[in-house]
Structure 1
Amino acid sequence: MIYPPIAMDIACWALFAVSVDLLLGFTGLLSFGHAAFWGSSAYVSGLLAVHVGLPFPVAVLGGALFAAVIAVPIGYLAVRLSGIYFAMVTLAFAQMIYFIANQWRDVTGGENGLQGIPREMFGVDLSDSFVFYYVGLPIVLLGLLLAWRIVRSPFGRVLVSIRDNPSRARALGYPVDRYRLLSFVLSAFLAGLAGGLFAISHGFASLQEVYWTTSGNAVMMVVLGGIGTLWGGVIGAALVVQLNDYLSTSEFDGIGIVTGSIFIVIVLVFRKGIWGTARDLLAPRLKRKRPGGAKSPGDDPAPAPAPDVNAPA
């Protein structure tokens, strides 16, 4: 049995992982700075709920829009690079957001965090975790639906072509940097939805939300589930969150050792992640059952190759 607070955490982290996969798996850009969007939305959503008294869905949407807005200048500077250079630039901006959140104590609470975030919607108290889960879950589902629609659209197909061969995409007349920037902003918006809902669910926003390890956790979830599969991030999030919860309640101190070992095993044994490996194993059987071997409408786009972080800009 999964308790409602853990289920809500899984849902939020799943949307966050999907937002990272939209950029990594379908655009070919590895970001270590998505904690900036998850965390900034967490703070903004909390501030809107505490000081303005907005219903939590409106506060979460406001936080996500703020994340998308700050993603525009960050993405404008970062998408001109690729590989390790892109990853380091996004990491640098994320650390800048972390420094601002730490120093602006009058607004963010500094090391004490932003506390007492209410869970209300139009005057109705949603402090009960079970009730809040079912009220907040539609926000996550809408975010996942948006991500699915993006990758299944012509825009998503262009992103895959840019990921596979940006030079050819430029030769065909596609403005590669503009497409990358739009993908970056959309990814930040989805990450903001997840971060804002996470802060409202916990009633608290801390510096941990904007720290770089938060980005690393999301990337790990994507790799565990399968890069470029979209839904693999959901599986990775469920695995990591439940494992962390089980180990912490067991009073085990070496959580990082266990999660790191599992990560290494899955990367070595399941090179395409859990979802990607399962899909490849089932694809021949499903194809034989369809007349003419036609693809079903639910088939994912071409899986992403392993990102080359050492590629030149």
Structure 2
Amino acid sequence: MAAKSQVNLSQGNPSQATIAVRQPGQDNTTRLILVGLGLAAAVAAPFVLYPVFVMKVLCFALFACAFNLLIGFAGLLSFGHAAFFGGAAYITAHAAKVWGLSPEISILLGTVFAGLLGLAFGALAIRRQGIYFAMITLALSQMVFFMALQLKFTGGEDGIQGVPRGHLFGVFDLNDPLAMYYFVLAVFLVGFALIWRTVHSPFGQVLKAIRENEPRAISLGYRTERYKLLAFVLSASLAGLAGGTKSLVFQLASLTDVTWQMSGEVVLMTLLGGMGTLFGPVVGAGIVVTLESYLAGTNLPVPVVIGAIFVVCVLVFRRGIVGELQALMARHRKS
């Protein structure tokens, strides 16, 4: 591909013209190198770090990416995403333990349940905007929490414990930590690839238009409610995929997965890493999970420390960590 040239003419003196030549292929090459390094690091991670810790990071990274699809690209702030994450965890755990289904079918059922729940919640919530939308999602999520507390099959405060991991496709024993890790990694990559494709599709461009100026999108003939509902369902389904996978990793589905604190935690991960960026939620999830794991062995109040770090990052990195890095690189290219 031929290089594209940009000519900037100084005012009043054409002789001071500067010619900046950009090589589009260079950006793509850099991205491919970074992606390759990331994949190599992910493949080697269980040999360096505790596999369960890395699996937890991957599950919450997918959860944060799913949430970011809604808030970062559709402009919809949900305070109820824990309902999809935890609801899918319960369905997956019950299907695997009580019904004796295989892990892939159990996770699929949990994902479908989260998608249907997202369809019901979204049909009600998208009728409102702004803080009203957020409060409706929070109220609906609290209903799911109390149902999880009262229903018999959820185990109440004890949750569903001792969930069997089983054999993937009847072949791979997921009780083996390495087999389980690479299965979780594959789930994350599939979910992330789906989000990437969605964002870079015409549908994703319409979502961005709705986020920036919904009245103008309506004037162009787009039925914005349908687009927002579809984005809500897709986000809920991917959150359910993360929750169902997490229940197999820890062999547990509990009330912690459906509390409003879980919804707040995924907001924290997304804002910390960079809302509206693809890799920001992954970075934010890694930081939050690492801090929680590290601080758990100390006498420090974990929520207070994480909250203080979040405040500092919001004040210093207004776009989030990845967002600020991208802005810095963009300024560097322009100069």
Q: How high is the TM-score relative to the length of structure 2?
A: 0.83
Please name the residue that 1:112 is paired with. Answer: 158
Matches within 5 A, 1:202-281: 202-248=250-296, 250-281=297-328
Equivalent pair of 2:173/2:179 in contact (CA under 8 Å): no
- Of all paired residues, the percent bearing the same amino acid is 49
| 1:154-202 deviations in Å (ceiling 9; x for gaps) | 0000000000000000000100111100000000010000000001100
Counterpart Cα distance in 2 of 1:182 and 1:278: 31
AA aligned to 2:113 is F
Counterpart of 2:221 in 1: which secondary structure?
Answer: coil
Counterpart Cα distance in 2 of 1:77 and 1:45: 25
Counterpart Cα distance in 2 of 1:142 and 1:25: 20
User: Do structure 1's residue 284 and structure 2's residue 331 form an aligned pair?
Assistant: yes
Please name the residue that 2:14 is paired with. Answer: none
Q: How high is the TM-score relative to the length of structure 1?
A: 0.89
Counterpart Cα distance in 2 of 1:44 and 1:190: 15
Deviation at 1:8, TM superposition (A): 0.3
Counterpart Cα distance in 2 of 1:217 and 1:244: 11
Please name the residue that 2:227 is paired with. Answer: 179
Please name the residue that 1:48 is paired with. Answer: 95
Please name the residue that 1:94 is paired with. Answer: 141
User: Do structure 1's residue 129 and structure 2's residue 202 form an aligned pair?
Assistant: no
Please name the residue that 1:15 is paired with. Answer: 62
Query: Runs of at least 4 residues of structure 1 off by over 6 A?
Result: none
Please name the residue that 1:157 is paired with. Answer: 205
Counterpart Cα distance in 1 of 2:201 and 2:236: 19
Equivalent pair of 2:292/2:302 in contact (CA under 8 Å): yes
Counterpart Cα distance in 2 of 1:41 and 1:286: 44
Equivalent pair of 2:73/2:204 in contact (CA under 8 Å): yes
AA aligned to 1:109 is G
Counterpart Cα distance in 2 of 1:134 and 1:82: 40
Counterpart Cα distance in 1 of 2:77 and 2:294: 29
| 1:199-247 deviations in Å (ceiling 9; x for gaps) | 1100000001010110100000000011111210000000000111011
User: Do structure 1's residue 70 and structure 2's residue 117 form an aligned pair?
Assistant: yes
| 1:59-112 deviations in Å (ceiling 9; x for gaps) | 1121011100111111011011111111100000000000101000x2000000
5+ long unaligned stretches in structure 2: 1-47
Equivalent pair of 2:59/2:184 in contact (CA under 8 Å): no
Counterpart of 1:227 in 2: which secondary structure?
Answer: coil
| 1:125-149 deviations in Å (ceiling 9; x for gaps) | 3223233111221011100000111
Among 17, 36, 39, the alignment partner of 2:83 is: 36
5+ long unaligned stretches in structure 1: 289-313
Structure showing greater Rg: 2
CA RMSD between the two structures: 1.2
Higher relative contact order (CA 8 A, sep 6+): 1
Counterpart Cα distance in 1 of 2:173 and 2:66: 30
Please name the residue that 2:241 is paired with. Answer: 193
